[in-house]
Each structure stands twice: as structure tokens, then as C-alpha cells.
Amino acid sequence: MLLPILGLIIGCLAAYFLPWNVNPAYSVYVAIAILAALDSVLGGISAIVNKKFSMEIFLSGFFGNALLAAFIIFLGEKLGLDLYIAVVVVFGTRLFQNFAVIRRTYIVQRNKKHEAKSEN
């Protein structure tokens, strides 16, 4: 459980402190890649919390989602459509859903511990 969170913190710190610029032509791709990565990390944490984590599923989702999102954005650019908005909505929704699952699971676990302590 700690490893994904540690990786997320290290990645955020590296992105903040390392000097680099993104070519504006690729900024949408980078933003979607960040959303895809956050979605995968939160999905992985959610799976760990629910004791259903599989590294194979995590990695296939991480790379599969990123590639599919990049393809949809590329296709949208070729067609002259803003298809990246659909990708942002999907990943944004999934981020909030995964966060809600993690939050609810921890609250239920905490309440069970408090109930067990109060019964003793």
C-alpha cells in the first residue's frame, strides 16, 4: 500500500523540482498521461485496499489506458474534434470513483475497529 503512494509523492516532487518544459503541441498528451497515471495509481490503491490487487491488471491498465487515450486524442486532432474532453471526463470520473471507494473502505474499517473496542 505504501509503495504506490511513495511513488506518487516522488513523482510529484520530481515534476515540481526538475526544470523541464513541455512543447505546447504535446501539452494535451502530457496532461492526459498524468490523468491516466493518477487513475491507475488510485485504481491500484483501491484494489490493494479491497485485497484484489494484481500487478498484471495494474500494468495492463496503466499502459492500455494511456495508449488508448493517446490514440483518441490523436484521432480527434486528425478529425478536427476535441475528443480529449471525453478522455478528461472519463479519467476524472474514475479518479473520483476510486477515491470514493478508498475513502469508504477506510471509514468502514475504522468504524469496525471502534465498534470492536467499545464492545470490549
- Is the per-residue pLDDT at 14 higher than 80? yes
Measured CA to CA in angstroms, residue 30 lies from 60, 85, 97, 103 at distances of 19, 14, 22, 28
Q: How is the chain split into domains, by residue range?
A: 2-119
- Return the residue matching grid coordinates 478529425: 79
pLDDT tens for residues 25-83?
888 888 898 898 889 888 998 998 888 989 999 999 889 988 999 999 999 999 999 99
What integer pLDDT is reported at residue 81 of this predicted model? 93
Instruction: Give the model's confidence band at 120: pLDDT under 50 very low, under 70 low, under 90 confident, else very high.
Output: low
What integer pLDDT is reported at residue 2 of this predicted model? 74
pTM, full prediction: 0.75
